[in-house]
Structure 1
Amino acid sequence: MQFLTPFFIFAGILGAAVPLILHLLNRERAKRLVFSTIRFIKMSSQIKTQRHKFKKLILLAIRMLILSLLGLAFARPFFVNQLAITANTGGSRHVVLILDNSFSMGYHNALDRGKKSAISIVDKLKPRDKATLIRASNITQIVKPLDTEHNLLKMAIDSTSLTNHPTDFLHAIQAADELLQEIKIGQKEIVLISDLQNLGWERFIESDKLSSNVTIKFVDLHSENAHNLAISDIKVPPIVLMDHRWMEIVVRISNFSNHDFDKIPLNLFINHKLIETKFIDVPSRDIADVWFQIPITSQAKQYGYAELPEDPVRIDNRRYFQFEGRQTIDVHCLNGEPSRDPYKNEIFYLQKAIQALQKIVPISFESTNQFLPSTKITDADLIILANVRSLTENMAKGLTSFVKSGGALFITGGNQLDLDNYNLMLGTDNKSLLPCHLVAFVGDAVDRSQSRIITNLDYNHPIFKPFKNPNHGNFSSSRFYRYIQIIPNDEARILASFDDQNPTLVEKEYGRGRVLYFTSSIDREWTDMPIHAVYLPFLHETIKHLTLTKSTQTINYLVGDVIELNNYNLPAGTEAAIFNPQGNETRLKISEFGSTLYSDTELPGIYSVYTSGAENRKFCVNPDPRESDLASKDTEELTSMLTNPDQQPTKMSKEMIIAYQENTEKKQSLWWYTMLALLALTIGEMFLANRI
């Protein structure tokens, strides 16, 4: 037994001594009296005297005990284990339940089984034990504080529903560990209730251990020999030229099972109309690519989906896509050095190259000496800045919005360029539009006594892949007498370099579009490349890549993505109405930058965007295909991976000891029982004192 205020123990002992001292001081002493025969009186007096003395002694003991108990009550006694053990295992339990509600938990009702397990754990907690719930997918949600409200916790568990999100346990386990670190005394436990899917552990590294003295347990809900067939990808060209007449769609089917699937029907729908059904065979733990060839009948944006028969995981049996038929490719060029003399005109050779390409690909080409109006920017597929001197702030904002929403920008060098202006207006860091920092002009285009040649090409890039084989284009035959020295940023990809290792061509994906920067001129002012045979196919491949190949940041999003709806040429405050696949509406306001953010992408399907004064838009949202693989981790492996090897007893500081003692004394409340005993003794003392 220990005492919260031990001073009162000594006060109680001193208080108990007071009745004893008073008793000794007031003790009656016997007196001798001469009297006649007292034989019978003496016998009676001895008996009464003994009884009287005995009662007084009892009364003395009671009074001493009353004062002792009063001191004991004020000392606030409590029972405690050895502190070094109590720090880790004593006191109350503190339990953090992590309940996986990712869409793989829909397999054979794993989530319902997990909720029953969680409620069973809560039912076994003692009233003083504290617990909380964290719902985990790739979004972590702490449902309630770590407290003793067990009924509220069971209600939170019961209300947990399945989401369309993939699994990621990193944030959930880190959040649970942080909650438990605030607890100084008692058991600290994490209970993970999940199918323990492999995907949930991909982001863990070796240092992601639990804190010392935090234990973790697993409720493994995965099914043995789980099988799942899913549509994991659809490859669709986002833009299809009408003169091609046919379009190829490739649907990838993944078999995440240990047995084969035979003659499984795969349906392809476009605009809610069944186009074709193919029957496929998919071996165990393998993939099958299914090719569909469909006619192009409309220039409008079209939407569709591929669909498999229902299985235990329904969400991945359908995948959405979109594409657009185009009559032409719209190319707009801003000429920074126009001239009536065709050989001095900056874009003379560029125009000749595009005229040749128009015989193969339908291209609408328009050149101007002034920056394009906003309506023209919206309609363009590619904007070329050919030796343009400088940009205004509005021009920079327009180009940034254009590229971010899926457009392509091709910037070429020349003696007109104000390098500082470009660096300032378009930015040079990773988050800016410009793929590089423009440093200085290098070389002399007049003297031409010295030149550079292109020696390093990225043949894996679509622009240069056709030149990979011998005799398919010799870039080293072109001479470059002047160029702009640049420093590419981290997000840029160097596609070609001179023999002095300075970049010739760099590319950067930005939003859903891309930017290409050519460090020399597009005409003969700085290079003789336009008169070489490689010039024409180089420009053809560049334009086709920029206009027909969209950024890897596709307009087909995953569940949970935050989507920026941009490139709106509308007044700030204009409302946009977004309808999810179930028809539920969300209204957002367009910002002064012509964009707005939409985050309610919880459902897979096709979303519609309506605004007054702008073309209606649609976009697709699909589930993360990685979640379809139901393979799981072993609990022993996970325990070893997460448990901190440095399991040392918690060092008890003075503050921790005091806090623990106060908490334990408050829970035990022994002083209350002491006061009850003191009250009973006080009543007994009053009764006995009146009888003496």
Structure 2
Amino acid sequence: MIQFINPIFLAIGIFISGILIVIRLLNSRVNQKLDFGTTRLILQAQRVSQKHRQFKKNLLFLIRILILLGLAVAFSKPSWTQRPIASNFSSYRNVIVLVDCSYSMGIKVDKEKDLFAILKSSVDSALQELTTSDRSALVSFSNYAKQEKRLDENHQLTQATLDSLQISSRGTNLLRALQLAEDLLQKTTSGTREIWIASDQQKVGWEQFLVAKNKIKEGMTKQLTVKFIPNGTVEKPANLAITDLNIEQQNHRTVIQAQIRNFGSVQQESIVRLFLDETLIDSQVANVAPQQVVNSQFSIRVKTKKKQHTGYVEIIDQSVQADNRRYFCVRPNSPIIIHLLDQTNSEMFYVQSALNSMSSILSVFYTTDRQLPSHLSSRYSVVMMHEAQMTELEQSTLHRFVTRGGQLLIAAGISPLPKPTNLLSELYPCEFSPDLVKLPKMLTQIDFSHPIFRSQQQYQGDFAQIHFEALRSCFPKPSARVIASFEDGTPLLVEHTVGLGRVVFFNSRIDRQTTDFPVRSIYLPFLHSLISYLGSSKAKDITIPSQIVSDSIDLKSILKNVKNINQEVLICDPSGQEHRLVTRKNQYAYFQTIELAGIYKISTHGFNDAKWTNFAVNIDTVESDLTAYTKEDVLDLIKKRYKTEILIKPNDNTRATLGQGLELEKNKEIWWFVLVGVLLLALIDTWLSNYQ
């Protein structure tokens, strides 16, 4: 039988040819002519010559119509397919082919081919064994499943669709693929039902299946046969991946720390390179033990007039290529401008001394006053204060400063304050009781993973010796993070976000009135770290948060000038493709078409906008763990749900097992024969056109 991969071209060719023939017939109508006696002989001779010319024109028209139809047939790619013809046509098969397109399929099996190419070749060979009465469909899957080709007898189109599949940047979820296959097979009324799985059988891909076994349709699964196509997976795959980036501002420099993990079973060495604005900045060598993590740290000075810088850290690894890069966007270092609210002209003495000592290692400027400046939001980065009585105007100014991205440090006062207003209560990360806790406490619980304490683990014993004589009785809000607390659970340092800003509450004085902290040696390192954290953590942070492939991104978190009503937003992905969104009233501005890792550009002023805003998108490195189930493990995993078997790649022995009455012949593509015929017709047309 003849099958067409692109039948639309044939339909278009036939339609255009029909129109040309109709026009030709309408223009060839003969008008009645009256001959005079004196010209009859001359006209008869002319008519004989006209008949020869008309025949030539008709022949040329026919040849050109055949050339047009030949090109249409060639573009539709016909193939003469004599597949196995089943002796029993009532026992045909309905086959759903599931092809894993997650990025772990890019693992190199040898120097020339990756696992994805090998599996596609195996599936292609298996499809050739289907009979003319069998039906096949194709489903690609990663962390979601998509039907690529409908269930029908056109196996040639299934093979062509298979060839067009590409590896994605997503993870794996076999549960969704199996559920889609079951939904498709549920619509069939006769024939056997089979699901072919072409995957690396990665363990993380089966996690959702194990968790949600109850979602599988019991009635359908007993009638299904699942067949696994051998994949030739490496038993102990080696893979290095950059799993995380941490970017901080330290001592006038930007420190970029890349976390590199070895998912394999042998020690690996790799070159780690840092690129900023497409320029190689630095490189180093990392040695990573099996199943261990190392950190490669780069320290650079970012001081240019550009508002944003883009870059990435990459490793050289020949296994899976997708997880070799981690992208980021940073802003240049900017000075930290602090306002100290000092209502007694003395309570900020120790803080001022600490700030003065920081000037040599960090760009810090500060002002001191008993009141908040009116231009607080436009100029200052950080406000530091003790609890104090404030006017409604000052409360409103402080609240607006924080919600617009400012950083606020509040230290506990000497005596309990009246119940705060709604504006102030929203700023505090804690709820308070009216009593002071005056019993001495020991500071024992410190989160050393937090940036404030990350560089001070060696001082853990010194923190425990600090004396605090007065503490506020407080309880952290659900959204707050406790950074340090006492032995009875009373918080000392708590933070939470308000709007675009952050509030840190220190549950004691930062002068000498109720504690000896300011006279201890660890006071300066702590205060330096705290101010560095607040100064670099403003909503206009040095790091623009990165996203993950397949995430939905709220554009307002990246572009602050995005409005809710009829504003067009232009997004350019790493491949250069443009995406346009129009914000609507009472709707969020979400961008959901994130399929590539890399740097995205976004603008509200059109493609020619010079002020693009960038954001980075990275892959989810959960998929980088290539540990896979063996075929025996997978069969045991699902044997209670399905009939299972291994679908062996066809060869002379397996073909013989198809049974008597099956006759095999390879597909014969005939479209190139059609092209040869078109070429011959074109030569005949040229000869006739020049023949007198």
Amino acid at match of 2:345: P
Residue among 616, 621, 624 paired with 2:617 = 621
- Pairing 1:293-692 to 2, within 5 Å after superposition: 294=300, 298=304, 300=306, 301-308=308-315, 311=318, 313-331=320-338, 335=341, 339=343, 341-343=344-346, 350-351=351-352, 353-358=354-359, 360-366=361-367, 369=371, 376=378, 381-382=381-382, 387=387, 399-400=402-403, 402=405, 408-413=407-412, 415=416, 418-419=419-420, 421=422, 425=426, 438-443=431-436, 450-451=438-439, 453-458=441-446, 460-462=448-450, 463-464=452-453, 466=456, 469=459, 472-474=462-464, 476-480=466-470, 483-489=472-478, 492-498=480-486, 500-508=488-496, 515-519=503-507, 527-528=514-515, 533=520, 537-548=525-536, 555-565=545-555, 566=557, 568-570=559-561, 572=563, 575-588=568-581, 596-611=589-604, 616-644=612-640
Q: Is the 8 A contact 2:385 2:411 kept in 1?
A: yes
Amino acid at match of 2:100: D
Tell me, what secondary structure is at the counterpart of 1:134? strand
Residues 126/289 of structure 1: CA separation in 2 closer, same or farther (3 Å cut): same
Q: Is the 8 A contact 1:196 1:220 kept in 2?
A: no
Match of 1:269 in 2: 275
Deviation at 1:228, TM superposition (A): 5.6
Write the distance in 1 (CA, Å) between the matches of 2:470 and 2:313.
Answer: 50
Residue among 179, 189, 196 paired with 1:191 = 196
**Range with greater deviation from structure 2 (270-279 or 381-390):** 381-390
1:527-546 Cα distance to aligned partner (Å, 9 max, x none): 45676546655433322334
Q: How much is the aligned-residue C-alpha RMSD, in angstroms?
A: 5.0
Which structure would you say has the larger RCO, counting Cα contacts within 8 Å and 6 or more residues apart?
A: 2
Residues 504/224 of structure 1: CA separation in 2 closer, same or farther (3 Å cut): closer
Residue among 165, 172, 190 paired with 2:170 = 165
Gap runs ≥5 in structure 2: 1-89, 108-112, 644-692
Match of 1:667 in 2: none
Write the distance in 2 (CA, Å) between the matches of 1:177 and 1:92.
Answer: 18
Match of 1:60 in 2: none
Deviation at 1:162, TM superposition (A): 1.8
Greater Cα radius of gyration, structure 1 or 2: 1
Tell me, what secondary structure is at the counterpart of 2:213? coil
Amino acid at match of 1:485: C
Amino acid at match of 2:105: M
Write the distance in 1 (CA, Å) between the matches of 2:151 and 2:331.
Answer: 52
Tell me, what secondary structure is at the counterpart of 1:472? helix
**Range with greater deviation from structure 2 (100-109 or 513-522):** 513-522
Write the distance in 1 (CA, Å) between the matches of 2:404 and 2:191.
Answer: 56
Residues 191/577 of structure 1: CA separation in 2 closer, same or farther (3 Å cut): same
Amino acid at match of 1:578: I
Write the distance in 2 (CA, Å) between the matches of 1:366 and 1:486.
Answer: 32
Match of 1:102 in 2: 102
Residues 224/500 of structure 1: CA separation in 2 closer, same or farther (3 Å cut): closer
Residues 127/163 of structure 1: CA separation in 2 closer, same or farther (3 Å cut): same
Deviation at 1:196, TM superposition (A): 1.7
Residues 478/238 of structure 1: CA separation in 2 closer, same or farther (3 Å cut): closer
Tell me, what secondary structure is at the counterpart of 2:115? helix
Write the distance in 2 (CA, Å) between the matches of 1:467 and 1:163.
Answer: 42
1:438-475 Cα distance to aligned partner (Å, 9 max, x none): 2533238xxxxx44535442153444563764763456
1:355-390 Cα distance to aligned partner (Å, 9 max, x none): 4544553223356845876963xx765455754767
1:588-629 Cα distance to aligned partner (Å, 9 max, x none): 457899994333332222223345599643232233344344
Residues 440/537 of structure 1: CA separation in 2 closer, same or farther (3 Å cut): same
Q: Is the 8 A contact 1:495 1:507 kept in 2?
A: yes
1:28-55 Cα distance to aligned partner (Å, 9 max, x none): xxxxxxxxxxxxxxxxxxxxxxxxxxxx
Q: Is the 8 A contact 2:440 2:467 kept in 1?
A: no
Amino acid at match of 2:323: D
Write the distance in 1 (CA, Å) between the matches of 2:286 and 2:486.
Answer: 50
Write the distance in 2 (CA, Å) between the matches of 1:102 and 1:313.
Answer: 11
Q: What is the percentage of aligned positions where both structures have the same residue? A: 26
Tell me, what secondary structure is at the counterpart of 1:539? helix
Q: Is the 8 A contact 1:349 1:530 kept in 2?
A: no
Amino acid at match of 1:106: G
Residues 194/557 of structure 1: CA separation in 2 closer, same or farther (3 Å cut): same
What TM-score, normalized to structure 1? 0.61
Amino acid at match of 2:547: Y
Write the distance in 1 (CA, Å) between the matches of 2:420 and 2:151.
Answer: 58
Deviation at 1:412, TM superposition (A): 4.6
Write the distance in 2 (CA, Å) between the matches of 1:188 and 1:207.
Answer: 22
Write the distance in 2 (CA, Å) between the matches of 1:591 and 1:530.
Answer: 53
Q: Is the 8 A contact 1:253 1:287 kept in 2?
A: yes
Deviation at 1:637, TM superposition (A): 0.8
Gap runs ≥5 in structure 1: 1-89, 427-433, 445-449, 648-692
Residues 531/609 of structure 1: CA separation in 2 closer, same or farther (3 Å cut): same
Match of 1:67 in 2: none
Amino acid at match of 1:171: R
Tell me, what secondary structure is at the counterpart of 2:574? coil
Write the distance in 2 (CA, Å) between the matches of 1:474 and 1:287.
Answer: 31
Deviation at 1:192, TM superposition (A): 1.9
Q: Is the 8 A contact 1:529 1:535 kept in 2?
A: no
Write the distance in 1 (CA, Å) between the matches of 2:421 and 2:226.
Answer: 57
